[in-house]
Amino acid sequence: MVDAIADIGGLYAAHGGWLRDWLRRHTRCPQRAADLAQDTFCRLLERRPVLPDDAKRYLATVARRLLIDDIRAREVERAYLDVLGDRFGTADHLTPEHIAEAVQLLHGILRLLEALPPVTRQAFLLRRLEGMAHADIATALGLSDRTVKRHIAAAYARCYALAYVDA
């Protein structure tokens, strides 16, 4: 275990600067790049993987996945703030407290969705976000209509269970 930490420390010393530069080119923001580089090494410390010979490629893959997650979260936050702006008319009604509350809610929703099995999550999102009919979802996912209904019902049950637990 100590060896894995030492290996990751060595990896950080050898490639941390390169990774920040690589992320800065992709994010165009030095602060986000530094945060994502830090998250990349934290992910390695959490998982303690066997490090491959091509360390830069491995770091870039882990960082790219974190970058994609970060972009998705920011898109969801932006969409939610747009909806709030439409609902309240102007952004003047959006106080920092409302924004913080909305961001917390969105992070909770993202955690809920990530906890669902992949097929259940995909069926639920196709239904709720794309407005697809069960039959169309069944065709798209290669499932029966009945199975799609079961997946969507399971997702709703999970949403309701969490809503009542938090209430």
Provide the sign of the torsion angle of the four alpha carbons 18, 56, 4, 111, taken in this order: positive
Position with higher pLDDT, 99 vs 18: 18
CA–CA distance, 155 with 113 (Å, rounded to integer): 8
Output the CATH code of domain 116-167: 1.10.10.10
112: closest CA among 103, 121, 99? Answer: 121
Structure confidence by residue, pLDDT tens digits, 3-60: 556 678 888 888 999 999 999 998 888 999 999 999 898 888 887 777 777 888 889 9
CB contact set of 119 (below 8 Å; sequence gap of 6+): 141, 143, 151
Structure confidence by residue, pLDDT tens digits, 101-113: 777 877 888 888 8
Domain with CATH 1.10.10.10 in the chain: 116-167
Position with higher pLDDT, 84 vs 120: 120
